[in-house]
Amino acid sequence: MTEVALGFATLMDPAVLGFLIIGIVAGLIVGSIPGLNDNIAFAIFIPLSFSLSPTYALALMVGLYCACAIGGSIPAIMVKVPGTASSVLTAIDGHAMARSGRAGQALGIAISSSVFGGITSSLILLLFAPPMAAFALRFGYVENFSLGILGMASVIGLLGGSVIKGLLSAVLGLLVATIGFSQQTGFPRYTFGVDNLYEGVPFVPLLVGLFGITAVLELSEELIRDRRRGLAPRDMPRITDSLFIDWSMTKRLLPSWLQCSLIGNVIGIIPGAGMLMAIYMGYERISHRYKRLFAGKPGEPAWGEGAPEGIAAPESANNAVVASSMVPLLSLGIPGNSVSALFIGALMIQGMVPGPLLFLDHPDVAWMIIVAFLVANVLMWPISFALVRTISGLVFRLPKYVLVPTISLLCLTGAYSDENSVFSIGVAIVAGIVGYVTRRLGIPHAPLILALVLGRTIEDNLDNALNISAGSWGIFVDPIEHPISLVLILGAAAFMLGPIVTGSRKRYQARRRRAEMEVQS
Amino acid sequence: MRMNWLSKGLLVGLTLAATSAFAADYPSKDVHIIVPFKPGGGVDTTSRILAEYGNKHMTKGKLEVENRAGGGGIVGQTFVAKAKADGYTVLAMTSSVVTNPVLKETAYKISDFKPVALYNMDPEVIVVGAESPFKTIADLVKASKDHPLTVTVAGIATSHHMAGLALEDAAGLKFSYIPTKGFGAQLQAVMGGHVEMGLFPLGEIKKHADAGTVRILAVASDKPMEILPGVPTWQDSGLKIKRWTTFRGWAVPKGTPDAAVKYLSELLGKINADPAYVKQMTDYGFPLAYADAKGFTEVVDDYAAITDKVIKDHGLKEQK
């Protein structure tokens, strides 16, 4: 407890607290700008942090990391352009809700869900880091492969209307994920001699294109259509209702928050799993809950058309990944994801190394980071409510013909700054056009993105697991050596078989009912 | 004939004048250090630390670190190879500059660069998890007679993978390679017991060994290292490899004026003599090693010779 007090005392230095708050505000702004994210912001900030005291620099980074996902949900809800990858699912129900005149409620749900997820995550970091880190260490190649398969299995829940189109989308993602050098041979595949493709299609520009540029093209289409018909361009949704969510809504969302926070925390702790996997898995799980309990009731929209759970699920899941991704980093020195890996760089500049030694050599800094996550999540709540109107009004109340080029420019700048290369701008534009065309064809994007994220993980871990087992596939379902993997594989099988079983049961029941009716008549 | 002689003389004179003017002037503007990787990694951070200390000695212009990532370093390396040879574009040079043109179809050759100075040499170390049954190299050699040892390396055809191949050739060990992306994933595999051992550059693992989460069994340096008490060299452990190190330094495009090379080389020497710099680098675990242009060239040539052999013997070159 004395260590926690030390961390708290370090954080309560007015300057350190000030940097934490600056970080939160910066995170909200950075997140809300399409094309910018925490990764890019850190890459710019870390070199500047040389002259700062380590506690200042790290407090700022913690604040920014926590608030970025909230920031991302603002443009997702207001204009259907996700500010960060973490809000790609929020855009679906969030924007639909905003269009129906409840933008304030949508934002309020996003903020409250994020804060809830964030607080659970920072409590786990504060209270259970050592046992959780031991759990994380049990994830080797075998377990990570099975986790990837479980993640891919959640595609089933994201297929939307047409199964064929959904699977097509997933296959497209898997194919794009094979571009780049093969980890097993060290040689490039499908790069056509382009050096920039050697490490695979650059991921940040790809996502910026798929989310940002696609959305911009759709906005332009709407603008042109309205103009042809002689209509004035429609306004973007405005916040006309209250931001605060009432007690009955809170009570209703609580089970979703708990379930998605659990998913987010587990995924966050496992190194290399990543935030996108958490939001997709949470979204998929909660969609079943919504369809069972709320869909079809009066005043409840269909899933994907403004369901409060459709905002609550991804927003609580993504913030639950944040602090928990620091568990393996601080306890073991192993980065949980690409953003927490940047904390290594920030510490390194100060001559510090994350891991058990940090707690011995610099206990004040180590515990300050941990306490800062909790405090940041608590402060985030009032700060977000105070700023959300300003941020959403600042840019997004612009007329559409100004908004479209502004967002395009921001997206392309963000794509460029990822690797400082013009090639990345091309990637973003091509991905945007492909995204637009596929969406016009009714091909859902969720399976594509999940496959892009997981394709490489699955392939690399499969190869290495088979290297270890000398080619035996039994290693994935070995109940003694790899029980975690067995459970994950069974879970994946249940995900995949579930809809088939329920589907055929429904059909069977319908047939029986028909037969009974025929008998009666 | 006479005109020709005259014009030659004039040319030489002009060149001399230009060179001396250059020497007096250099550096008159910012010097860009190109890091061919994204921010946050070892090369990026050490480059930024160097720039921070180097700027204390710079009067006109500053050292500016610039990231040009992509292609496993090839994009940024090619950028410098094709840059203007005026001393204002410097490559943060790593061992991969030597092996990339041999392994892959790159647009540059190693001879397109002129080494400036060396600042860090990382000997390769053999690492096992804290709970591993292997206490010594002899244990590893014995186990390897029974089955190929699973060893995690940071990618196929990297310096670390080649170190493993060299060990197989020289010491008769048998390995099954588990390539991973980056040192963090390697650390996870070693600490979690998912592999039997790992090959790491010392700088990336030193602090974790200090923390007791992993053990270093042997180091590929010429003689035992002071910072690694009780750890034998590869040679002394009977592995029959005298030295295996990766390096970090600065290089410029070939044709860069000698005055600029000399200035930068001396600048790195001044930084290396700064106690605050020494403390910051050693705190993190980067073994410092300064060598001027001549010394660095020898290190590069030495490295090219040993890796060329491994690449040839094991057919690592990309087949077209």
* Interface mutation target, options B46, B62, B180, B207, chain A, most CBs of A under 10 Å: B207
Our CA-based measurement puts residue B132 at a distance from the nearest CA of chain A, in whole angstroms, of 14
Domain boundaries, chain B: 22-121+246-314, 123-219
pLDDT score recorded for residue B1: 45
Measured distance CA(A174)–CA(A164) in Å, rounded: 15
Q: Computed over its alpha carbons, how large is the radius of gyration of chain A? A: 23
Contacts of A345 in chain B (CB under 8 A): 39-41, 44-45
Domain boundaries, chain A: 2-391+400-468
Asked if residue B265 has pLDDT above 90, the reply is yes
Return the biggest CA–CA distance within chain B.
82
pLDDT score recorded for residue B13: 56
| CATH class of segment(s) B123-219 | alpha beta
Chain-chain contact of B39 with A333 (C-beta, under 8 angstroms): no
pLDDT score recorded for residue A396: 62
**Cβ–Cβ < 8 Å for A125, A261:** no
Our CA-based measurement puts residue A198 at a distance from the nearest CA of chain B, in whole angstroms, of 5
Angle at A406 between CA A403 and CA A412, to 5 degrees: 140
pLDDT score recorded for residue B14: 54
Mean pLDDT over B144-163 rounds to: 93
Measured distance CA(A314)–CA(A190) in Å, rounded: 34
Q: How many CB pairs under 8 A join A and B?
A: 157
Provide the 10 A C-beta neighbour count for residue B142: 11
Output the 3-class SS for A12-48: CCHHHHHHHHHHHHHHHHHHHCCCCCHHHHHHHHHHH
Chain-chain contact of A464 with B156 (C-beta, under 8 angstroms): no
Q: Note the pLDDT tens digit of each residue in B31-45.
A: 999 999 887 778 988
Q: Which of B179, B195, B207 lies closest to A355 in CB terms?
A: B207
Same fold, B22-121+246-314 and B123-219: yes
Our CA-based measurement puts residue B314 at a distance from the nearest CA of chain A, in whole angstroms, of 12
Measured distance CA(A519)–CA(B244) in Å, rounded: 85
* Interface mutation target, options B147, B165, B188, chain A, most CBs of A under 10 Å: B188
Asked if residue A265 has pLDDT above 60, the reply is yes
Chain-chain contact of A46 with B40 (C-beta, under 8 angstroms): yes
- Please give the share of chain B, as a percent, with pLDDT higher than 70: 92
Chain-chain contact of A348 with B103 (C-beta, under 8 angstroms): no
Asked if residue B143 has pLDDT above 90, the reply is yes
Q: Supply the DSSP string of A93-134, one letter for each residue.
A: HHHHHIIIIIHHHHHHHHHHHHHHHHHHHHHHHHHSHHHHHH
Closest by CA position to A250, among listed A59, A107, A112 = A112
Contacts of A420 in chain B (CB under 8 A): 66-69
Contacts of A54 in chain B (CB under 8 A): none
Q: Computed over its alpha carbons, how large is the radius of gyration of chain B? A: 22
Measured distance CA(A214)–CA(A224) in Å, rounded: 15
**Helix/strand/coil for B291:** strand
Our CA-based measurement puts residue A356 at a distance from the nearest CA of chain B, in whole angstroms, of 6
Contacts of A464 in chain B (CB under 8 A): 178-180
Asked if residue A191 has pLDDT above 90, the reply is no
Mean pLDDT over A378-398 rounds to: 86
Q: Which one of A185-189, B155-159, B266-270 scores highest in mean pLDDT?
A: B266-270
Mean pLDDT over A210-235 rounds to: 85
Q: Which of B44, B103, B158 lies closest to A345 in CB terms?
A: B44
Chain-chain contact of B72 with A46 (C-beta, under 8 angstroms): no
Dihedral sign (CA A353, A358, A363, A366):
positive
Q: Which residue has the tokens 């050697």?
A: A198
The average confidence (pLDDT) of chain B is: 89
Q: Is B130 exposed, middle or buried (0-12, 13-18, 19+ CB in 10 A)?
A: middle
pLDDT score recorded for residue A271: 87
Rounded to the nearest 10°, the torsion over CA B126, B130, B135, B139 is: -70
* Interface mutation target, options B33, B38, B66, B131, chain A, most CBs of A under 10 Å: B38
Q: Note the pLDDT tens digit of each residue in A458-490.
A: 999 999 999 999 899 999 999 999 999 999 999
Contacts of B74 in chain A (CB under 8 A): 195, 198
Chain-chain contact of B71 with A199 (C-beta, under 8 angstroms): yes
Residue B241: DSSP 8-state: -
- B72 to chain A: closest CA residue: A199
Residue B16's pLDDT band, with cuts at 50, 70 and 90, is: low
Measured distance CA(B232)–CA(B214) in Å, rounded: 16
Asked if residue B24 has pLDDT above 70, the reply is no
Q: Note the pLDDT tens digit of each residue in B62-104.
A: 999 998 888 888 999 999 999 999 999 999 999 999 999 998 8
**Helix/strand/coil for B269:** helix
Place domain B22-121+246-314 in its CATH homologous superfamily. Answer: Bordetella uptake gene, domain 1 (3.40.190.150)
pLDDT score recorded for residue A427: 96
Measured distance CA(A345)–CA(A342) in Å, rounded: 5
Mean pLDDT over A503-510 rounds to: 85
Closest by CA position to B217, among listed B194, B192, B182, B190 = B190
Look at A321 and B37; give whichever has higher pLDDT. A321
Beta bridge partners of B153: B179
pLDDT score recorded for residue A440: 92
The average confidence (pLDDT) of chain A is: 90
Q: Note the pLDDT tens digit of each residue in B103-115.
A: 888 899 999 999 9
pLDDT score recorded for residue A79: 87
Q: Note the pLDDT tens digit of each residue in B157-174.
A: 899 999 999 999 999 899
- Please give the share of chain A, as a percent, with pLDDT higher than 70: 98
Contacts of B285 in chain A (CB under 8 A): 353
Asked if residue B198 has pLDDT above 50, the reply is yes
